[in-house]
Structure 1
Amino acid sequence: MNKIKSKFLILIMVLIFATTTIVLSNTKDTTKVILKNVETGEILFSNEVELEDQLKFTWIHSIDKLPWMEYFEVTDNQELKLNKVVIQDFGAGVPHNLGNNYEIRDGKILFTEINKAYQKYEWLSSQIALEKVELNGNTIITKEKSKDFQRLKLFLQTVKTPF
């Protein structure tokens, strides 16, 4: 009787191993961009992204009340790389050395070649400051959908998905 139980257990273990191998071999790594409320853990947005996908943050500067735009790119290191910042004026809170290059075009100051990488991007949301966040030109959150003084975090995460 013990030999039968042993053989049965071995068979069950082999089946579990084979099933696990089949399931895992039929998945792929997918990168998602996730926007999360830090305090509640609520996922406000989650979507698949690919290398070089673009994120754009549009803010209203708290002092001069002018738009401030930040352009990020998804990198192969699972990071968000800040490439460009567009502002309309220098003033309080605006670093003078933001990028390796800047130019003035159409009345706006463009800082380029910033190349600053972030593992995550966190901010305290405000219906006054945040205008919107976009992924490849599609809006993912606006000031109307954001609550005042909500701690938000945007980050990339790799997940396994079936083929």
Structure 2
Amino acid sequence: MKSRTQRSIIVVVLTLVVGTLLLLFFLQRPGLVLVLRDQQTGKVLASIPVEEGEQLTYRWIHSAEFIPWIEEFTIQKDGSFRLNTIKVAGFGAGIPENKGVTSVKDGMVVMEQLDQVFGKIRWIHSQTALTSITVGDTIFITGEDVPHHIPVELTIEGVGTIWPRYPLTK
């Protein structure tokens, strides 16, 4: 009788373990996640699921020239950012003058075919300089969404893991 009870307990435990593992497997959302993190604390400030090939657009105002600056990246399968295009409303301090193929379109200097790859993007955040970071047509963050003058880091993470969407913190 004791042996039968022990076998029943073992079967129940194994069933629970296998069931839990199957549940975790089916709850996984394999894919990439764009993550904005405080560099000093490691705290996740915002995250959003993304896909390989999606366009990430970083819009900001140049701090010395006060002109719009737009950078367009493609999200890569390996978790990197491929810089394809820079659009700037003029030239001045810190603006590259010999990148890729340069033309003027709609009043903006456009540098295309840049093909530069970045594993992460780091900056000291400015609520007044950053206009927005978007993925496709979705606004990921605006300048006001993140505390002023903190060092932040933008990465792509989470391949094949369960990754919750973090709300923005203000």
TM-score norm. by structure 2 comes to 0.78
Alpha-carbon distance, 1:124 to partner: 0.4
Kindly provide the amino acid, as one letter, of the partner of residue 22 in structure 2: I
1:28-60 CA-partner distances (Å, limit 9, x unpaired):
522111111222333221111112111111111
**Alignment partner, residue 22 of structure 2:** 22
Helix, strand or coil for the counterpart of 1:22? helix
For the residues of structure 2 that align with 1:66 and 1:102, how far apart are their CA atoms? 18
Alpha-carbon distance, 1:24 to partner: 5.4
**Residue correspondence of structure 1 range 67-86 to structure 2 within 5 A:** 67-86=68-87
Contact residue 59 and residue 133 of structure 2 kept, 8 A: yes
Structure 2 residue 21 is matched with structure 1 residue 31: no
Does 55-64 or 24-33 show the bigger shift?
A: 24-33
**Alignment partner, residue 146 of structure 1:** 146
**Alignment RMSD:** 2.7
Moved over 4 A (4+): 6-17
For the residues of structure 2 that align with 1:23 and 1:145, how far apart are their CA atoms? 35
For the residues of structure 1 that align with 2:117 and 2:8, how far apart are their CA atoms? 53
For the residues of structure 2 that align with 1:148 and 1:21, how far apart are their CA atoms? 42
How many residue pairs match? The answer is 161
Identity %: 26
**Alignment partner, residue 136 of structure 1:** 136
Kindly provide the amino acid, as one letter, of the partner of residue 34 in structure 2: V
More strand by share: 1
C-alpha change, 1:46 and 1:15, in structure 2 (3 Å) is same
What residue ranges of structure 1 are gaps of 5+ in the alignment?
Answer: none
For the residues of structure 1 that align with 2:91 and 2:114, how far apart are their CA atoms? 17
C-alpha change, 1:160 and 1:146, in structure 2 (3 Å) is closer
TM-score norm. by structure 1 comes to 0.81
Helix, strand or coil for the counterpart of 1:141? strand
What residue ranges of structure 2 are gaps of 5+ in the alignment?
Answer: 164-170
